[in-house]
Chains A and B, each alone.
Chain A
């Protein structure tokens, strides 16, 4: 009778122990999974911030090129080495229209958006997936929107960022630059982590 009681007690203790250990391991796994998920979330978010910084650099570069183009009065020649001849022809047409389409600020934006599309497309090499779409009117780029899907190996989450490039607003008086009235180079349309 004593032995049976002892055996039952032993089995009871063993069951309690197994239950306690498995419960503890389970809780620990969930806690680690929770913290890992948070860490991944912030890692993806940080990559998105890197992307935004790269976009800003690309657009600053495009703006600089466009501004130099206008200030050097390159639109009076067809010899700019980086712009397609068709685009230069369109720009020349606008320049000769004498303010019909907004004058120098329009020319600036045509060149700016052209370079913006090129430089944003170059970011594809640094990020896994990137889609740059441009609204075109023949050879002229009217607007640029960039959508990117960021995912890293080992992380079961993705980040989708969508930005649109804002037009520049420069004030000219004759051929002289008066001021830069642009507030921001781009707008973040969406920022989704799932």
Chain B
């Protein structure tokens, strides 16, 4: 009788162990999936950014920038993370502009414009913290004279 109880207990422990393993594997696969999809979204937006042939495609003359890229990125993100599992995936986009200036004798010359785009995608955890999945940044320089 005791032998049977021990056997059942061991069997139960093994079952719990297997269930935990399956849950771990499932979570891990989900995270792998998230990383690949996040990488796809971030790469798409950055490739679009790198392919710009003119700064005018990127910002209006009054420097109200990020319009085109943000719209593109939104679309791509919403398409790829459209399933119900992805409701806790968030993305963030940071954008900077730097213009090297040559101090001239008469007036200062803006030589070109350096655009910096950083995209990061993270999973929002139930405790409010974020686990970063992807963080890519890219630069694009446009000379004022070609």
Contact = CB atoms under 8 A, between A and B. Distances in A.
B138 A34 contact: no
A49 interface: yes
Q: DSSP class of B's interface residues: helix, strand, loop or mixed?
A: helix
Interface in B1-37: 3-4, 7, 10-11, 14-15, 17-18, 21-22, 24-25, 28-29, 31-32, 35-36
B39 interface: yes
Band of interface residues on A: 35 or more
A42 B114 contact: no
Given A27-B29, A60-B111, A185 B146 contact: yes
Interface in A18-37: 20-21, 23-25, 27-28, 30-32, 34-35
B29 A185 contact: no
B66 interface: no
A2 B7 contact: yes
B104 interface: yes
B11 A6 contact: yes
Contacts of A49: 114, 139-141
Contacts of A50: 114, 139, 141
Chain B interface residue number, banded: 35 or more
A99 to B, nearest CB: 27
Give the dominant DSSP class at A's interface: helix
A184 B136 contact: no
B122 interface: no
B104 to A, nearest CB: 7
Interface of A: 2-3, 6, 9-10, 13-14, 16-17, 20-21, 23-25, 27-28, 30-32, 34-35, 38-39, 42-43, 45-46, 49-50, 52-53, 56-57, 60-61, 64, 68, 182-185
